[in-house]
Amino acid sequence: MGTAIQGSLFDHAERRPLGDGAWIDVRAGWLTGAEDLFDELVECVPWRAERRQMYDRVLDVPRLVSFHDLTTGPAPHPAITRLRVRLNDIYAREMGEPFTTVGMCLYRDENDSVAWHGDNIGRSSTEDTMVAIVSLGARRAFALRPRAGGRSLRLPQGHGDLLVMGGSCQRTWEHAVPKTAKPTGPRISIQFRPRDVR
C-alpha cells in the first residue's frame, strides 16, 4: 500500500487561532494515496461497540471504536505507526511530549455520531494539549463550539484530511461529529493523543 504524507506541514500557514490560547491546524488532503488504507483498517482493526449510561438509560454508542496505547503494544496497522512518527516529528517539540496513543472511530453511516465533548480526561483543568485527527472515507462535518458560548464552526473533513486541535482547545472548546439528514458513506477518524488524554 502506498500512503504518502504531505511534506509541507511544517508551514503552519493554515493555523487558525480560536481565542483564549486555542487553535486548530487544518490540512486538506494531507494523507494521499490512502484509498486502500480505509478498507484495510475496516478489516484489521479490532472494532468494538460500546454502551454508555445516559441519564436513566444505558444506550449504544453510535459508532464503533478501537483504542491503542502505543507505548505498551503495537499499532493495529503499519500506516498508523508511520502517521504517528510523522506527527511527532512535526508537533512533539511544540507540545512538549509525543503522541503516545491512537483512538479510532468508525462512523458507519449518517446515523453514527459523537456528542459535544473535550478530550482532557486525566489532565489538569489548566493544562494545554494537542489532539491530531486524520479522516478517511466519506466527508463529514467536524463541529467546534466555545464552552463559554459563542459562534460554532463546522469544518468539512474528507478523505486524507488532517485536523489538529492545540493550545487550550480541549479546555475552552468542545467538538462533535453530528448526525446528518443526508445519507453518507462510512468514515474512519484516527485520533492521536499524548499520555492521559482520551
Instruction: Decide yes or no: CATH 2.60.120.590 for domain 14-193.
Output: yes
Domain boundaries, the chain: 14-193
* Cα 125 to Cα 159: distance, rounded to the nearest angstrom: 33
- Name, in order, each residue with C-beta under 8 angstroms of 79's C-beta and a sequence gap of 6 or more: 1, 3, 34, 37, 40
Reported pTM: 0.91
Can you give the pLDDT of all 198 residues of the chain as single tens digits?
556 665 554 444 589 999 999 999 999 999 987 889 999 999 999 999 998 777 788 888 899 999 999 999 999 999 999 999 999 999 999 999 999 999 999 999 999 999 999 987 677 777 899 999 999 999 999 999 999 999 999 999 999 999 999 999 999 999 999 999 999 999 999 999 998 887
Distances (CA, A) of 195 to 75, 103, 118: 16, 12, 15
Residue 43: count of CB within 10 angstroms of its CB: 9
* Cα 146 to Cα 82: distance, rounded to the nearest angstrom: 33
The DSSP 8-state label assigned to residue 7 in this structure reads G
